[in-house]
Chains A and B, each alone.
Chain A
Amino acid sequence: MVDDPGSRRGPDPTEPWRRLYQATVGALAPGDLDALGFHRQWSADRQGSGEATSGNADESRDGQVFLRQLAGWTTESGRRTAELAALMARLVPRCGELARELPRQMLGNGLPTDPLDFTSRLYDATSGPLSAMIRDLLTDEAFLQLLRRLLENWATAESLGARLSEDVFRRLQLATSSDTTRVATLVVGLDEKVDRLEDTIDDLDHGQDARTRDDELARLREQVGRLEEKLDRLLAAADDENGRAEQVGNGAGNRKVAGR
């Protein structure tokens, strides 16, 4: 048995993500999607908590180091959970305030006369303390960090889903959203060119003397002429290409016939 130095290494923590990526969208063109996004976040969080080990690559491959990292991540998760629990605990006095305020406001002017009156009073009694409670939550740094991580994970999952559906549609030879976007971009580009042309014509119509106008017109005619020449060359090239493709097609057909 060959003693492979790699076999003594500890498990690579990025391996499951790499495999998942390769098994799903690995064949696609590189883009914004980060195959190791989840892992990187996890790892960045770990470093942020001060649990990071040195950047020695060999050391990180060591099994014991991985176990230490795992312990660190577990501790970090525990710390976050405790932070959230503390945040919830801070909301308790607000709940008490709400409980005190509720009967006072609900029954202050006698009993509610109908369900709508009841609902309106309930809203008036609870909206203030509830707003304060939600504001406490939305301004808490621990909650905002949690929200950021949720958003990042959600966005990564969305990207992955979009890439997968693009790939499926492409394999089925159906138009994908990026195809539509490409066409739309061309249309927008054309629209902008037309607008610039219209702007130039507007300039000609407004506030320029006859000589400048004639010069501009001559220049514009020259530009349009050049544009037409380019289009002609483009069309000719496209015709040639079609002709060649047909010849190749016919040739292949002939060969098939000859082979029978």
Chain B
Amino acid sequence: MTSHVPTDQPGLDALREDLLDKVTRGARLILEGAHAETGQTPKEVIWSRNKARLYHYWSETERQHRVPILFVYALLNRPYCLDLMPGNSFIEFLVDEGFDVYLLDWGIAGPEDRDQSFDDLVLDYLPRAVRKVLRCAGTDEFTLFGYCMGGSMSLMYASLFPEGIKNLILLATPVDCSPEHTGLYGQWFAEPNHDPRVIVNAYGNLPPQFAYTGTALLNPVTNYIGKYVNMWEMILRDKPMTGWLAMSKWADEAIPMPGGVYKQWVEDFYQHNRLAKGELRLRGRRVDLSAITAPLLNIAGSKDHLVFLPQAEAAMDLLGSVDKEFVELEAGHVGLLTGRGAKKGLWPKVRDWLEPRST
């Protein structure tokens, strides 16, 4: 808001116009949602299957590291928070640092994907994507980088197909989902409070509005009110809001989760904690985390409401890796990846850890 209030009529008219324009902008953002150009680092699709797409990112910078990085994203939101916008993109940063970067985007599940499960994604899709990355990069080793649920899938994959994995990086990855570590999510997903089959039988997939509401309710005042208080402040005080627009667009763009995956996620992870107990089986094959011996960088946020520190830290004891490091950053689930904190925290940490291990 302008501090100087004009007294002449044209000045007052201009002020009124300006205020009306700002109020209209704010109202449109609330009603229509944020629009922003996201995911702009140049890329090409090098493989696709069903809705899944494997992207290979380009850069003017010459490739300086032999070992490519494959990002495995979660199934709850779109993956462009890894490549939010120019200057605020983790992928852009890595590409500019000379890394060869690939991203596996699972796409948006349709009603025909209701039976899709971790078994399909980890045993069929991931091995195929990995082969494609290795062929494209012309190497026989790669760095597997999993974020959130993508980290859990990376662990399942690494346990069953350890060959070729040069490094493993886990970011905000739930591993030990015993009730004392899982907070509100754990309580909501507990057996007496939630039966995932009710949703799967009624809708097929987990509807995006359920996924969005579930996540937003972990911090309801900030997500439903604080977000708009910040928005009005930025609009009325003429502050730059491109970052807010991009983040808001990403946060509002929840996607449906395949019914089979949702059922496994709730039952096998939150209700029975099968991954940490070594009881998880994919098509009869046991996921044994101690079989993973690749160097491990495990990162979690101390302000994360979705994945708590002990949940992620459990990987340190369960994996068979000798070279392993746990890093706690002062950030939330998404703040780990983007923004000023990420530029000073996560990005350089990953680069410094990977550089000597990517030759």
Which residues does A use to contact B, with CB under 8 Å?
32, 114, 116, 119-120, 123, 126-127, 130-131, 134-135, 138-139, 141, 144-145, 147-148, 151-152, 155-156, 158-159, 162, 177, 180-181, 184-185, 188, 191-192, 195, 199, 202, 206
Closest to A133 in B: B221
Q: Is the Cβ of A139 less than 8 Å from the Cβ of B237?
A: no
The minimal Cβ–Cβ distance linking A179 to chain B, given in whole angstroms, is 11
A116 near B184: Cβ-Cβ < 8 Å:
no
Closest CB in chain B relative to A118 CB, distance in Å: 11
Chain B residues, CB < 8 A from A188:
50, 112-113
Give, as a whole number of angstroms, the nearest-CB distance from B73 to chain A.
Answer: 20
For chains A and B in complex, what number of residue pairs have CB atoms within 8 angstroms?
Answer: 86
B184 in contact with A155 (CB, 8 Å)? no
**Separation of A251 and B110 alpha carbons in the complex (Å):** 45
Interface segment among B146-154, B198-206, B293-301: the answer is B198-206
In Å, the complex CA distance between A128 and B120 comes to 43
Q: Can you list 19 residue pairs at the A/B interface with Cβ under 8 Å?
A: A116-B232, A116-B233, A119-B229, A119-B232, A123-B229, A127-B222, A144-B188, A144-B193, A145-B192, A151-B199, A152-B198, A155-B199, A158-B202, A158-B203, A159-B201, A177-B111, A180-B111, A181-B112, A192-B50
Q: A123-B225, A144-B188, A185-B112 are in contact. Are A155 and B202 (CB under 8 A)?
A: yes
Determine if B217 is an interface residue (Cβ-Cβ < 8 Å): yes
> Which residues from chain A contact B201 at a C-beta distance below 8 Å?
32, 155, 159
B233–chain A nearest beta-carbon distance, Å: 6
Smallest distance from the beta carbon of A157 to chain B beta carbons, Å?
9
Interface membership of B160, Cβ < 8 A: no
Q: How far is the CB of B200 from chain A (nearest CB, A)?
A: 9
With A and B bound together, what is the CA distance between A182 and B166 in angstroms?
A: 41
B131 on the interface (CB 8 Å rule)?
yes
Q: Is the interface of A mostly helix, strand, loop or mixed?
A: helix
> Does A156 contact B237, Cβ atoms closer than 8 Å?
no
| Pair A127/B232 contact, Cβ less than 8 Å | no
Asked if B16 is at the interface (CB within 8 A of a chain A CB), the reply is no
Determine whether the beta carbon of B199 is less than 8 Å from that of A195: no
Partner of A191, one of B50, B124, B195, B220: B50
B4 at the binding interface (Cβ < 8 Å): no
Interface centre among B112, B219, B220, B226 (most CB of A within 10 A): B112
Number of residues of chain B lying within 8 A (CB) of chain A: 36
Interface check B128, CB cutoff 8 A = yes
Q: B residues engaging A (CB < 8 A)?
A: 1, 49-50, 110-113, 124, 128, 131-132, 135, 184, 187-188, 192-195, 198-199, 201-203, 217, 219-222, 225-226, 229, 232-233, 236-237
Residues of A within 8 A of B184 (CB): 135, 138-139
Please state if A156 and B202 are interface contacts (CB–CB under 8 Å): yes
Given contacts A116-B232, A120-B229, A195-B49, is CB(A144)–CB(B187) below 8 Å? yes
State how many angstroms separate the Cβ of B117 from the closest Cβ of chain A.
14
CA distance A159 to B201 in the complex (A): 8
Query: How many angstroms between the C-alpha atoms of A130 and B135 in the bound complex?
Result: 54
Q: Which residues of B contact A162 (CB under 8 A)?
A: 202
Contact residue among A126, A131, A184, A202 (Cβ-Cβ distance under 8 Å from B135)? A202
Task: Kindly report which residue of chain B lies nearest to residue A129, judged by CB atoms.
Answer: B221
Q: How far is the CA of A206 from the CA of B139 in the complex (A)?
A: 12
Closest to A33 in B: B201
- The distance in angstroms between the C-alpha atoms of A144 and B214, with both chains bound, is 13
Note all chain A residues with C-beta closer than 8 A to B113. Answer: 188
Identify the 10 closest CB pairs spanning chains A and B, nearest first: A155-B202, A184-B112, A32-B201, A185-B112, A181-B111, A144-B193, A131-B221, A123-B229, A195-B49, A159-B202
Chain B proximity of A141: nearest CB distance (Å): 8
A86 to B174, CA, bound (A): 35
Contact partners of A126 in chain B: CB under 8 A: 221
A158-B202, A159-B202 known; A116 vs B193 contact (CB < 8 Å): no
For A160, the closest partner residue in chain B by CB is B202
Expressed in whole angstroms, the Cα–Cα distance for A195 and B222 within the complex equals 44
Contact of B131 among A120, A130, A202 (CB under 8 A): A202
Tell me, in angstroms, the Cα distance from A152 to B112 when the chains sit together.
23
Within the assembled complex, what's the spacing in Å between the Cα atoms of A51 and B191?
Answer: 22
Nearest to B203 among chain A residues (CB) is A158
> Residue on A with the closest CB to B197?
A32
A116/B111 in contact, CB under 8 A: no
Are B202 and A138 within 8 A (Cβ)?
no
Using known A-B contacts A127-B222, A155-B198, determine if residue A120 contacts B135 with beta carbons closer than 8 Å: no
Distance to closest chain A CB from B127 (angstroms): 10
| A202-B113 Cα distance, complex, nearest whole Å | 26
Complex Cα distance A120/B187, Å? 32
Bound complex: CA of A124 vs CA of B134, how far in Å? 51
- Which B residues lie within 8 Å of A131 (CB)? 219-222
Inter-subunit contact A191/B233 (CB<8 Å)? no
Task: Return B359 CB to nearest CB of chain A, in Å.
Answer: 23
**Neighbouring A residues of B193 by C-beta, 8 Å:** 141, 144-145, 147-148
Write out the residue numbers on chain A whose beta carbons fall within 8 Å of the beta carbon of B188. 138, 144
Residues from chain B with a CB closer than 8 A to the CB of A119 are: 229, 232
Q: How far is the CB of A153 from chain B (nearest CB, A)?
A: 10
